[in-house]
Chain A
Amino acid sequence: DQQVKQNSPSLSVQEGRISILNCDYTNSMFDYFLWYKKYPAEGPTFLISISSIKDKNEDGRFTVFLNKSAKHLSLHIVPSQPGDSAVYFCAASSYGGSQGNLIFGKGTKLSVKP
């Protein structure tokens, strides 16, 4: 049973527009959420995180929103750029992200078209 779900395997967006990547989770014990970006044959690169005590965290073009009641988080990229094309993984932790499992979703492949 998947505890972290990314229901869209792929997303295509025009350059300059907003990209919205969604993630749902089932475990109410998760208290820390992270987004990673991954290129083929490379390890994931940390993008942005959010603690369960917040509902929004922003870093440049990247914003993560957390809706605890819906057990849903999303990553917004504005404006989208061709270099953002990659697979994006949502991950969750019940240890503040520093120790223990990071439970990953299956990823969403984002394609940003020029």
Chain B
Amino acid sequence: GAVVSQHPSRVICKSGTSVKIECRSLDFQATTMFWYRQFPKQSLMLMATSNEGSKATYEQGVEKDKFLINHASLTLSTLTVTSAHPEDSSFYICSGVGPQWTQYFGPGTRLLVL
């Protein structure tokens, strides 16, 4: 199957700092990548759709200036949480559209903002 990696797997930061999360498709090229967020006991919620070489599309209620997405290549998308606050603490997961038009998910990044 297709493999997606995320880095870091876990990050703790102080309120007001920025955190960058990388998402890589290791054995396939992903023109489109998605970023999800999951709060405890909730569904995975789509935050934004990242298209290589163009601007990301954000879901309603997601601040594009706070969650900066860059999809500079067919194998790498980054999500930067700017000026993070405790309410941004969550589990962030990316996915890439791989073989058979299926989304393959990364292992997730646990963000804790103190």
Spell out A's residues near B (CB within 8 Å): 2, 4, 34, 36, 41-46, 49, 89, 96-107
Contacts and interface: CB of A to CB of B under 8 A. Distances in A.
B46 A43 contact: no
Interface of B: 1, 4, 6, 9, 32, 34, 41-46, 49, 59, 91, 93, 95, 97, 101-108, 110
Most A CB contacts (10 A, CB to CB) among B4, B103, B107 go to B103
B32 A44 contact: no
Contact residues of A: prevailing secondary structure: loop
A107 to B, nearest CB: 7
A49 B32 CA distance: 20
A45 B106 CA distance: 9
Nearest to A98: B101
Contacts of A89: 43-44
Given A105-B43, A106-B41, A43 B32 contact: no
